Amino acid sequence: MSLTFYQYPACGTCKKAQKWLDNNNIPYEAVHIVNNPPTKDEIKELYEKSDLELKKFFNTSGKKYRELGVKDKIKTATEEELLDILASDGMLIKRPILTDGEKVTVGFKEETFEEIWK
């Protein structure tokens, strides 16, 4: 199973997730979510495979999120507009995102990782 691990190296949650993956000997390809953000099409595919609401893909605690007033935009934006916003800046995307091409997790909860990735 080859996993893609979208992460931001300075992110504490990403560090915890990476440590969990390493401790469980789960191989992955790390992708810097800011330097190499997923495209709009990639985000759409991740979203569709995740069974999550699209708004769960937003880094709501991020500085960029607040600066751009995304909280207000989410309420009325179409799916296409939300995907455009996410694709515009990797800092707007909640992280880490882990996928094997079929399953997708957003954020890090040890119980979820145990259930899905172990």
Question: What pLDDT does 2 receive?
Answer: 86
Band the pLDDT of 83: cuts 50, 70, 90.
very high
pLDDT digit string (tens) for 57-76?
Answer: 999 999 999 999 999 999 99
pLDDT digit string (tens) for 8-20?
Answer: 999 999 999 999 9
Alpha-carbon distances, residue 30 vs 2, 50, 105 (angstroms): 11, 19, 15
Which DSSP helix (H) or strand (E) runs through 118? none
DSSP state of 108: -
Torsion sign over Cα 85, 51, 16, 5: negative
DSSP state of 27: -
* CATH numbers and ranges of domains, the chain: 3-117 (3.40.30.10)
pTM of the model: 0.95
